[in-house]
Amino acid sequence: MVFKVYALTTYTQKFNGFLAKKFRQQVAYLLQKKAVKYIVITFLGIAMWLSGPSLMAQRARSGMRDSFKGSQWYIGLESGMNFTKVNPGTAFQEFYRPSESLEGKVYGKRFAHSSQQIGIKAAVRPTKHLNISLTTSYITYRYSYQQQFLWEDAENPDQHVNINYDHTVRLSYLELPVIVRYYLYSSGRFRPYVLGGAYYGWLVQANKQIVESGIDRASGGSTDYSNTPNTTFVKDMFLTSQAGYLWGGGFAYKPGTVTLTVDIMYKQGIHNITDVKHRFSSARSLPGFGNVQDNLRLSNLQVSFSLLFPLKFLTKSFNPVTL
């Protein structure tokens, strides 16, 4: 049988040529821009990752043709939803009441806040049972907490002021999860698997919405009030990096050439994401109170849908390598 390698080799050769002539000249300039830096680095990483099949294709042509059939590479899109839980560690706040302990922050319900993620996934299936993927995803984590204050007239307890500060934080990361999947059934259209891996993210954007509401029973009556939400950027409050591990399961469905996958995974951050150097300084210019961040680790329940295209084909009619 004659193996013809079309799409992949052509693509990688063109890409490498382009990289050599023009792209490298732009890298230094792009690296100066912080947000662009991460994208460029990630893109380069994926390009290098994708260069693997090119090498394998060359090997196939030079005699190692059986190994070409022994694996498959995929690239595709991934999107989905995630639900965040906060794991607070040591608590910090700007308020201090010498005479009594002050109630701290009350974090929102576990996995109550949904957000989205979207990304580009590259995967290799080196054996029938294994799948290793690297995804470049833009993911937003959302969590909330509330801090409540009560001031009461000691001589007339009916007179009191109760104020709630509701904080909702959105953290957007450019994240690189590396996931290993083990297929429980390696053949057929429907293939369930278990998965595990690790992820690393760069903080791209962080903002916080603060809503002040309360009950004023000290101004000649009883008034409930709620102020207009106030949103501010709070990137200084958080570390640029976030790393963690993940585990879960899912299944792949292969109706034809493309593969559809559904991942359900639990992600666990392994470190405090609050930037302790700016814990207080970055909170000083924010409205309301309760802005000083506790030590936090994030957990995340994530559901992702992927559409993957194979990259290794056997014939001009694009019959993919099938394991």
Nearer to another protein, 110 or 271 (CB): 271
Binding mask 77-96 for another protein (x = CB under 8 A): -----------------xxx
Largest CA distance in the chain: 95
Tell me: does residue 52 bind another protein (CB under 8 A). yes
Q: Which is nearer to another protein, 11 or 289 (by Cβ)?
A: 289
Q: Is 228 in the site for another protein (CB under 8 A)?
A: no
d(CA 44, CA 50) in angstroms, rounded, equals 10
Cα–Cα distance measured from residue 288 to residue 283, given in angstroms and rounded to the nearest whole number: 10
Of these, 10, 58, 281, 319, which contacts another protein (CB under 8 A)?
281
Among 6, 23, 88, 152, binds another protein (CB under 8 A): 152
* Cβ contact 239:203 at 8 Å: yes
Residue 296: what are its φ and ψ, rounded to 5°?
-135, 140
Whole-angstrom CA distances from 221 to 20, 115, 218, 225 are 74, 41, 7, 13
Least CB distance to another protein at residue 291 (A): 9
The residue among 208, 214, 141 whose CA lies nearest residue 172 is 141
- Which residue from 129, 161, 125, 167 is spatially nearest to 146, judged by alpha carbons? 167
Give me the residues paired with residue 78 across strands: 119, 306
CB of 51 to another protein, least distance (A): 8
E-strand ranges in 218-280 read: 223-226, 230-233, 241-253, 259-269
Near another protein by CB under 8 A, which window of 65-73, 107-115, 155-163, 297-305? 155-163
| CA distance readout (Å), 205 to 71, 169, 309 | 38, 11, 31
Nearer of residues 126 and 188 to another protein, judged by Cβ: 126
Residue 239 binding another protein, by CB under 8 A: yes
CB of 220 to another protein, least distance (A): 13
Give me the least distance between CB of 183 and another protein, in Å please: 23
The residues of the shown chain that bind another protein, judged by CB under 8 A, are: 41, 45, 48-49, 52, 94-100, 102, 149-155, 159, 161, 163, 200, 202, 214, 218, 230, 239-241, 243, 271-272, 274-277, 279-281, 283-289, 292
